[in-house]
Structure 1
Amino acid sequence: MSGHYPYGGGPADVPPPQDKGSTALRAALILAAVAGVVTVVAGLLIVFRSPDEYGLENKRDALELSSQQKPGQPEQAMFQAAPDVPPPLPEITAAPAMLPSTPKRIVIKKLGINAPISQVGLARDGTIQVPPSENPNLVGWYRSMSAPGQAGPAVLLGHKDTRTRPAVFNRLPEIRNGDTIEVKRQDGTTAVFTVGGVEQASKKTFPTERVYGPQDNAQLHLITCGGTYDRRTGHYTDNVIVYATMTSSYRS
């Protein structure tokens, strides 16, 4: 027979004539398989009726407290404002700004974060570089802005997750107004920042002025991904941004 059959879609797909001599054997095998399935199902019913005896007790209560919603604790509303509105400030007096010094580590005790900081600049497409994904615990400091503790906004970026595991800023949306963030600096001082607001903003309407605009006090802005993961583009739809103001400092 002539003709073209792509992907094997030709005469070879027609099943061969049935071998009558093997009919009895095939029937016996089918009956044996059915009997095996019945036995397995019966065994599973016995196990599920007495899960404690077989190590299958409900494990949902074993989740860490951080994974559970605490009863009676209302969820904090995200900060929302037009892109040109100034960043939210905590209800506490800002501390005097310090001289610039390179940041070395960031510590957020509430979230279990104690991570090194490296310097990042601009990528070829004009966006800020992010730390390499193979080092998910690394935070990037945008060196073209203020250093943490210096007057103006200091911008730190970190990954939410990688293809295989959570990353350094995975729990960033859990931070609340009034929580503190510490940044350890090269000069031996630690700048302490108090959170004034948390925002989730679409990447299409990123609040550029609020994040990068000039400020009189020492500000700290943390940025990570948020929203929905778009498998088509390979990116999240939003950014989570934490706004904090330096309220104290001490020598390490």
Structure 2
Amino acid sequence: MSGYYPYGGAAPTPPPPPEEKGSAALRTVLIVAALAGVATVVAGMLIVLNSPAEYGLESNRDALALQSQPTGKPEQALFQAGPDVPPPLPQIVPAPAMLPSTPVRLVIKRLGINAPIKSVGLAKDGSIEVPPSNNANLAGWYRNMSTPGEAGPAVVLGHKDTRTSPAVFSKLPQLKNGDTIEVQRQDKTTAVFTVGGVEQANKKTFPTERVYGGRENAQLHLITCGGIYNRITGHYTDNVIVYATMTSSYRS
């Protein structure tokens, strides 16, 4: 009885065609599978994160030694210039020179240096004498030059090491521009010098004019050995030279 519906009223909603039932079932299966896949991925990530070393994902950052961590501060470059170039000056105004007075003690607080000073002259071969090696904590002031605090360069030498231990100037290359050096003098005054540069020069090309040449300001030049130790000659190949200018003084 086509077109006839019992009990009257509108025709009921027809059932979906067979192909629509199949599509709904397929969608349901795909949704369930997708959810299961997401759950599997999340679970896998948690396992890897909890045991990164087992999967080759462990970070090397924490494995760096403390001294290998970057400081963010560039290392100071050594002073380099031709042999006739004047000594480097600190970025502050030099203090007026004082009257001559024999130095008695050298103090570099940042390096832990507190050393008596001995007067030295020239050796038989014409080179400057060095302090006796049996006293590792002894510096030598070259008495044929200015006294520290007097106008001109004052030259103080010290050993890098001895046969048995480091010596007074072993840490000299660690000085940086702006560091201060104090020289106590016989007249009860202390001359304060500010480092303007540190140079490492081969002994064959020693900057004689820069170290010993006349200057208007009161300067202090510290000298020790550096470079490579030559076991055949018994000497180091280089010299380390610190250039400092007097920037203040006070009465001890």
1:179/1:68 CA distance change after superposition, 3 Å:
farther
Aligned-residue sequence identity (percent) comes to 78
CA distance in 2, matches of 1:70, 1:196: 26
What is the CA–CA distance in structure 1 between the aligned matches of 2:133 and 2:115, rounded to whole Å? Answer: 14
AA of the residue aligned to 1:229? Y
For structure 2, the residue ranges without an aligned partner over 5 or more in a row are 1-64
Q: Which residue of 2 aligns with 1:22?
A: none
Shift in alpha-carbon separation, 1:183–1:228, aligned structure 2, 3 A: same
1 CA distance for matches of 2:178 and 2:243?
A: 11
Deviation at 1:75, TM superposition (A): 1.3
Partner of 1:201: 201
Moved over 4 A (4+): 67-70
1:108 is aligned to 2:113? no
Unaligned runs of 5+ in 1: 1-59, 62-66
* SS of residue paired to 1:110: helix
Residue deviations 1:75-116 (CA, integer Å, cap 9, x gap): 110000011110000000000000000000000000000000
Shift of 1:69: 8.6
Q: Deviations over 1:194-245 (max 9, x none)?
A: 0000000000000000000000000000000000011111100000000000
Alignment-derived partner of residue 136 in structure 1:
136
Change (3 A) 1:109 1:238: same
Residue number in structure 1 paired with 2:238: 238
Q: CA 1:129 to 1:68, structure 2 compared with 1: closer, same or farther past 3 Å?
A: farther
Partner Cα separation in structure 1 for residue 173 and residue 249 of structure 2: 25
CA distance in 2, matches of 1:146, 1:224: 19
Q: Which amino acid aligns with 1:217?
A: N
Using the alignment, how far apart are the partners of 1:164 and 1:193 within structure 2? Answer: 31
| TM-score under structure 2 length normalisation | 0.73
Distance verdict in 2 for CA 1:192–1:166, change over 3 Å: same
* Bigger CA radius of gyration: 2
Q: Measured at CA, do residues 69 and 203 of structure 1 come closer, stay the same or move farther in structure 2, by a change above 3 Å? A: farther
Tell me how far 1:72 sits from its aligned partner: 2.5
- In 2, Cα distance between equivalents of 1:246 and 1:129: 25
> What is the 5 A alignment of 1:158-173?
158-173=158-173
- How has the CA–CA distance of structure 1 residues 193 and 237 changed in structure 2, closer, same or farther, with 3 Å as cutoff? same
Hey, what's the Cα distance between the residues in 2 that align with 1:187 and 1:119? 16
Distance in 2 between residues matched to 1:113 and 1:95, nearest whole Å: 23
